[in-house]
Amino acid sequence: MAQIELEGAAAKPSKKHLIILILAVIVSLAAGAGGMFFYMQQQMANKVEEACAEPPPPVIITIYNELSKPLIVNFPQTSAVRLVKITLSIATGDEATVAVLKKNEPMIMNNLLMLISMQNTEGLKTHEGKIALRNAIFDNITEMLEKTAPGLEIKEVFFTSFIMQ
């Protein structure tokens, strides 16, 4: 009789193992679904951030054109300064403006020599006087560009050397 009980017990599968197996499958599916949910939520948040992010600022191109010769102006012997030698660089945004500046360089140099010769030498010794001269040079070149090639403009004028004797 003891043998019959053992045979019956061996033939009857345990439901405990089946329940554990089913629970393990359910837990792993739930964990996978939860992980996928959080992953997709993070991906959607990244896409929203990218869509709301500001576009990168446009690249600003600056081309420098240096006058081929320095501007040398003699002042009267009675003035405190007898000679001024200025080298200029002109900042532009495109090659077309550089081409127009190079083409009209003799006119630019003439106008600037006349402009510098009219300056007060005492004023050129101060920082404010140099800034005023730079602004006047900028205005002079801008005016010339408006006459010769409307629509083109310069960004800035720089003194690359400024010698007074």
Q: What is the pLDDT along the chain (165 residues), one digit of tens a residue?
A: 455 555 555 556 678 888 888 888 898 888 888 888 888 888 888 887 777 777 778 888 899 999 999 999 998 888 888 899 999 999 999 999 999 999 999 999 999 999 999 988 888 899 999 999 999 999 999 999 999 989 899 999 999 999 998
- Which two tokens mark 153? 């403009």
Query: In the structure encoding, which two tokens stand for residue 161, read together?
Result: 């050397």
The residue segments making up the domain with residue 19 are 2-52
Whether residue 45 is found in the same domain as residue 112? no
Q: Is 58 domain-assigned?
A: no
Does residue 107 sit in the same domain as residue 147?
Answer: yes
Q: What is the dihedral of CA 134, 135, 137, 139, to 10 degrees?
A: 170
Q: Partners of 86 in the beta sheet?
A: 71, 162
Domain annotation covers residue 57: no
If 0-12 CB within 10 Å is exposed, 13-18 middle and 19+ buried, where does residue 70 land?
Answer: middle
How many folded domains does the chain comprise?
Answer: 2
The reply to whether 26 falls in a domain is: yes
Q: Answer yes or no: do 97 and 151 share one domain.
A: yes
Distance in angstroms (rounded) separating the CA atoms of residues 23 and 26:
5
> Quick check: pTM over 0.75?
no
Give 105-157 as a DSSP string. Answer: HHHHHHHHHHHHHTS-HHHHTSHHHHHHHHHHHHHHHHHHHHHHSTT--EEEE
